[in-house]
Structures are given as C-alpha cells and as structure tokens.
Structure 1
Amino acid sequence: MKVVIFAGPTLHGVKGREELEALYLPPAAQGDLYRAALAKPVAIGLIDGYFERVPSVSHKEILWAMKQGVHVFGAASMGALRAAELAAFGMEGVGEIHEAFASGALEDDDEVAVVHGDAGEGYRPLSEAMVNIRATLQAAGRAGALDPETRHRLERLAKGLFHAERSWPALFKRGQEAGLDEEGLAACRRFVAENRVDQKQLDGLCLLRTLRAKLEAGLPPKQTRYPFSHTDAWEHIRLKAEALLPQRTQG
C-alpha cells in the first residue's frame, strides 16, 4: 500500500511517520496532487497547500484522482477547504476545522492561511492561523481565563489582521490599543503561553490516524459515480503538470 501526504507548516515539528508510514511531500500546488495520483497510491492526504504565490490545488485534479480509484482525504488547512467543497463527490474530510467549513460556521480561506518558512526550516509557521486563535480563545473562556466580551473582542481584532500579520503579540498589542482590560489581557497571555491550542496540527494528526485505521481495516479502491469531463481547463492543468514529470530514459 502506498499513501501520499501533502503537509508543511501544519505538521511542523511532528514526526508524521510515527503516526502513519507514507510518502510525505511539501505543501501542494496545482498539479502536485495529479502527479501523485499517477503513481496509483491507495490514498492521498491533503493537509497543506499553497494559496497565493502559485496556483492552488484544483478541484478537478482531486476529482480525477478519485476517478482513478484513489481515496483523497483532507484536513486542517487547504485539505479542510477542498474536502468541504468536494464532499458531495466523495472527498473525505477529517477534523474540527473541516466540520466548521462543511457546516458553514466558517467560510473564509484566511481562517487557515499562514505564512511559513521554506523546506530548510521544515516549513515553520511564521504567523498564527485564525482557527488556532479562535480555538485558544474559546479554551481560555472555558477555563475561566477570559470573559465572554473580551474573547469576542479579541476574536474580532484578530480577524481584522491580515493573515500574514496574525500573531499573539500583534493581537495583544491591538487589544491594548483598543483599551481592553489589562488584567484580562495578562491572564489571557498566561493562558496562551501554557495552553495554546494548535487546532490545525490536531486535525492534521487526526487525518494520519484516521487513514492508518482505514488502511488497517482494508481500504478497497475508491468508487465514484460522477462523470469526469476533459475540459480545456483540465487539459491545461494536466499538460502543465506532466511537463514537470521526470523524463524517462530511452533505451
């Protein structure tokens, strides 16, 4: 059995192979999932993918992969978005972030977007995801470290930050500037320092464990019912992706 996982900042610092033996690839861009599916893996797990600098993973390549019998799972970041969008076609979503997008509780892509370092840094996150901020503030509220009004105001302030500039220091600075209670902010700082919730990483690990359990139970080829149309747009994506495949040696 062969499994491919696309991950980067979400699993930074995690030894994924301790959870699931798989081929781990960097965050996916358009065409990457198609190229992975050409090798006929049993399943592909999409966690991280690019949003801005390069074209994102297309819906069409996911549909094509599933049409070839490949199971495609999504969680945490780009994977959660695509799984919510393609649930009706059979893409399988995992985790709380996916559930929030699937239910309509979350709608904006910037909820999961972060900036991160390069491969040499292990794709280290350089900003904080809005979903992690929400999860941590909610946990602080449940723990009694944050009153409801302050929590809601901090969430609104965080949402107002550009995703690349979101961080806990930036948020607390905004809170001070907005005149939030200093004692409440101090209590929240202490909570974050000791109990920050990384919901993206939790969901990413959930995907690995879910896939492992399904593989151990036996995962037959993916069955689909939808027709797949070879549109001009799809042919453009396919040909561009194939142009980056290693050239076969003649002989």
Structure 2
Amino acid sequence: MSAIIFAGPSLPPGERPTIPGIEWRPPVLRGDLYLSALRRPELIGVVDGYFETVPTVWHKEILWAMSQGIHVYGAGSIGALRAAELAEFGMIGVGDVYRQFRTGELTDDEEIAVLHGPAEVEYLMLTEAMVNVRATVNSALRSGIVQLDVASALIGIAKALFYKDRTYDVILKTAAGRGLAPCALDRFAAWLPCGQVDQKRMDAQAMLRAMIGHLDGGVVPLKVSYQLAKTFAWEEARRLIERTSGRTQDSTS
C-alpha cells in the first residue's frame, strides 16, 4: 500500500502517526501534487497548501493525477476547498470544512487561511483560521457559554479581521472596544483554553482514518468519467514543474 499526504499546521508532525506506506509531505504548492503523482502512489491526500506569494496547487494537476488512477482526498484546509470544487470529477472530500464549502455555506477562500511558523517549529500557528473560530464560537453557543447576540458579534468581528491579524486576543479586545458585556467576554475567554475547537485538525484526522481504511480494504485504480485535455498550456506547465521547485513561504490554507 502507498499514500502521500501533504500537511502542515492543520496536522503538524507531532500529531502524525508513523504508518508504513504513508509518506508525509510539507504543505502543497503548485506542481508538488503532479510530481508526487509521477511516483504512482495509490492515494494522495491534501490538507494544507501554500498560497498568496506562490502559486497554489492547480486543479488540473489534481485532475491529471486522478486520470492516472490515483485516488485524491482533501480535507481541513486547501484540500477541503479543492475537494469541494472537484467532487464531481472524483476527488474525495472529508470533514465539516469540506461539507461547508461543498454546500455553499462557505465561499470565501480566506476562511481557511492562517499564518504559521516553519517546519522547524512544527508549523506553529500564529493566527486562527476563520473556520476554527466559527466552530469554536458555535460550540460555546451550544454549551451556553455565550448567547446568540454575543456569538454573532464575535464571528462578525473575527471575519472582519485580516487573516494575519486574526487571534482570539485581538477578537476579544475588539469586542470589548465595541461595548460587548465584559462578563460575557470574560466567560468566553475563561472557557477558551479547554473549549477551543480546531476543526481543521479534526477534519485532517478524519481524512487520515478514511485513507487508512481505503488502503486496508484494498485499492482499485480510480476510473474517471472525463478525458483530460492535453493543451499546449498544460504541457508547458508540466515541463516548468519538472524544471523548478521550491518552498519558502509561511502562509497556508
């Protein structure tokens, strides 16, 4: 059995089990998935990927990989977004973030973006993904920690922040500055250390379990219903990918 999984802050190295046949890679960027597919693994999983200052993973390289019989999974972050976009072509999405993008509850790519440290510090997250803030505030609402008006205000404040500024400290300070009840904010802040929800990590773990189950059950090569167009642009892109590579950025989705 063989699988390659691209992950970073959503499922850092310390959280990854060592499983024979599964190879872990850093967050994906354009060309990485294509190069991995050339090795013909049975499965490829995408959780995290670089973006903003470098080209992110192409839809077409995913489509190409699947046309070669490789099952491609996505969850948690850019993987969830790509899986929602390519589900009709056979990409397998897992988890709540995927579901929200697939149903149209979420449409903004920025929902999954975070700022984080390099691999040397286990991709330590420096900001909060909006999807995680939503999951956390909704959990606090269900638990009675906050009321609906406070929950709505916190989500609105978080959404208005640039992703590189989005931390719970900034969210709470902004909420206090806008006159939200101090007792409600104090209760939420006290609950956060134990109540905070990392939806992206939960979804990444669910994807890993699904992939392990797929491998254990035996993998039949994927048969797709489409024919990939071998355009001049795609052939040029393949040659470019095979000539160049690199990963120096610290923003992922």
Report the TM-score range of the alignment, normalised by the length of the smaller protein: over 0.9
CA distance in 1 between counterparts of 2:43 and 2:100 reads 23
Aligned CA RMSD, in angstroms, stands at 1.3
- What is the deviation of 1:217? 1.2
Map of 1:229 onto structure 2: 229
- Whichever residue aligns with residue 104 of structure 1, its letter is G
- What is the deviation of 1:232? 2.8
CA distance in 1 between counterparts of 2:145 and 2:187 reads 6
CA distance in 2 between counterparts of 1:104 and 1:166 reads 23
**Alpha-carbon spacing, 1:13–1:178, altered in 2? closer, same or farther (3 Å):** farther
* TM-score of the superposed pair, with normalisation by structure 2: 0.94
Map of 1:131 onto structure 2: 131
- What is the deviation of 1:244? 3.6
- Whichever residue aligns with residue 92 of structure 2, its letter is E
- What is the deviation of 1:18? 4.6
* Structure 1 portions without partners, runs of 5+: 246-251
* Structure 2 portions without partners, runs of 5+: 246-253
- Whichever residue aligns with residue 33 of structure 2, its letter is L
**Deviation by residue 1:173-215 (Cα, 9 ceiling, x = unmatched):** 1101111010000011011121100000000000000101111
CA distance in 1 between counterparts of 2:158 and 2:236 reads 38
* Counterpart secondary structure, 1:86: helix
Map of 2:66 onto structure 1: 66
**Deviation by residue 1:118-138 (Cα, 9 ceiling, x = unmatched):** 121121111100010000000
CA distance in 1 between counterparts of 2:163 and 2:199 reads 16
Check conservation: 1:30, 1:237, Cα contact below 8 A.
Answer: no
CA distance in 2 between counterparts of 1:13 and 1:203 reads 16
CA distance in 2 between counterparts of 1:51 and 1:213 reads 30
- Whichever residue aligns with residue 23 of structure 1, its letter is E
* TM-score of the superposed pair, with normalisation by structure 1: 0.95
After superposing on structure 2, the runs of 4+ consecutive aligned residues of structure 1 that deviate more than 3 Å are 18-21
Check conservation: 1:9, 1:122, Cα contact below 8 A.
Answer: yes
Check conservation: 1:136, 1:196, Cα contact below 8 A.
Answer: yes
**Alpha-carbon spacing, 1:18–1:148, altered in 2? closer, same or farther (3 Å):** farther
